[in-house]
Structure 1
Amino acid sequence: MPVDAAVTRPRPADQDRFRAAVAEELTRTLDEHRERARAVHPLTVPLVDAVGDLAAGGKRLRAVLGWLGWRAAGGDPEDPRIARTGAALELFQAAALIHDDILDRSDTRRGMPSVHRRFEAEHRASGWRHDAGHFGVSAAILAGDVALGMSETAFAAALEGAGRPARARDEFERMRFGVMVGQYLDVAAEMAPPATDPAEAEAAAEAVVEHKSARYSAVHPLALGGLLAGADDALVAAFAEVSLPFGLAFQYQDDLLGVFGDPAATGKPAGDDLREGKRTVLIARAVALLSPADAAALDADLGDPGLSAERIAHWQRALEECGARQAVADRVAALSARAAEAVGALEAHEVPADVRAELTALIQAATTRRH
């Protein structure tokens, strides 16, 4: 049917209102848990503060996808339940980031010290006894657990009066379990000897991307929003045709930024993924394209936390010259186009034109970002 062009344009002001509503829910949840912590002992309040500071930043991608799924299934954009769901997703993201930074031994996140480094610094500044590094990791693990608990509390509140609460609960639990085992898969891939077959190595890297990142970043949030508004299984399946290629493209773009990104924009040191030893699709493709000697040298440098800036620059050039960077960029573009095409197919499910336009704009912005 014909669509009014004025209706199809994204409405950033509405997204801004939704983000503000999510921020209000986060503040309410954090304040409530801060008081609970203070009632236990004032010394425990920094656990909640660390989560709050981390959750204050970010793109709110998962929350916005949940809101778009909700609206696609007929939900009222101003309904507080979807803002609570957005807060639950942001708190879940905070937990995942806290634990991910411990596993990756990352010093920074969003331009700030990572949570375990924050607690380590507080230990030293306070002149406490014993090992500061161990305290930092221990406190951050617990802060991540606190964030998971707050996420569950917010989501339980959002389920009240939901369209398909049992199916939404199952989706949330699948998201949580998938991230945890995906994280283990990522750790195991870094520790295990690299596959001798380049195709096998790339397939393993793709599995990490899908289960550690793409599904919880895009597939589950979009589905959750729809299910809470009563979406049927056919619409949820149509959502996945959009969200899986989008989630994969989003993470592949992230992998490019992890090696080639500008630290001023990403909040991470240049080439940090190389120091952390991430065996991404970018690295798998490089190993397939480089000479055997260069591939062996790259493997030897991966995971060296002291890798020099000069060595990082060397591998940036090598990954550019061998064609690995372009191959992954091409994959991002192809997946983004596939996701955008699937957005068009949502018209058959009576998804409003403005929601489709916003999804298309979000895909474009997220897969061409520089931070």
Structure 2
Amino acid sequence: MTTSLGAVRSTFAPWDDPALAPLVVYDGVTKRYGAETAVADLSLAIYEREFFALLGPSGCGKSTLMRLLAGFETPSAGRVLLAGEDLAGVPPHRRPVNMMFQSYALFPHMTVERNIAFGLTMEGLPREEIRERVAAMLKLVKLEAYANRRPHQLSGGQRQRVALARALAKRPKVLLLDEPLGALDRKLREETQFELIALQERLGVTFVIVTHDQDEAMTMATRIAVMDKGRVVQVAPPPVIYEAPATRYVASFIGDINLIEAKVAAAAGPGAVAVETEIAGRLSVETDEALAAGQQVAVAWRPEKTRILRAGEEAPAGWATIAGTVHDIGYLGDWTTYVVVAGGLRLRAAVANAARLVERPVTWDEPVRLAVAPSSFVLLAR
């Protein structure tokens, strides 16, 4: 019996255990289409029972990686391994992998029940076993009452669950999800994200999801691989990706970020460096990187870690301040975003609306100062 990950999700980190072998390995994989390189000398490891996200913009190579694992594409160089076995030459239907397509690819003339049973029937499983598996899948996705309906009689969310049930019915070691929530409206998409998390934890199957939606990846994944131009730029759990991005690209791609140019002034003690900026003066920023004096870097911080100070308000001791003028205000319900122009840069501060809005405390064209705690800064050398 598979133990649920629900109670231990926060401590689930097999990638930190040197005794554990990964389930999926991309070993120096390159994929070319003529003169175009979709994936460039990429190595990546995915562990059993992970909910792993391949995240990046269109054309970055994430779908190609998924298709290489599914067997729909073959590497131009390198190897793809599953449970230690080189998959070279293994056709898609012989791999313990199943794929849920973005379009769902349901058969319109078949009932829900027959759609789920299709792959099992093609494998030639005994009729009774097919019936039992289909019944279990219908119960799993809560569609027992819809077994005899056809796809056009279902909502978008129901069709998505049918496609998921069909993919899981074959009991794959790895389930591949290609933009699985793209056709759903926002509210249903958010609900389905948590349903998928619960389902994956309950089944213990390794899920690999391809998405360009940062919120989707941050919500569901145990780890995220951020991709750019056929390469993996950073692989880490969502909190690390968000709080400690490795590059400017990752920092800008994941959520909103403020970023100012700086120059390394001098070392400022163990694990920190002093940098000079035009609009915030000299800052001391934590870093583990070895940096040379005069080196050009960037200092970044998140809008929600920014405090707005009006005239007469003082910043907490040790905080950096940046003077500017409120240029724009966006009320988002739970948050209000302020765009402040400072030294020609547009910086953002996000303020939680913790109380009912009676009057807006900060208004357009108002001179303000942005205050940021030193611990909120991230130094980006790349």
Q: TM-score, normalised by structure 2?
A: 0.24
Output the TM-score relative to the length of structure 1: 0.25
* The structure with more helix, counted as a fraction of residues: 1
**Structure with larger RCO (C-alpha < 8 A, sep 6+):** 1
Larger Rg: 2
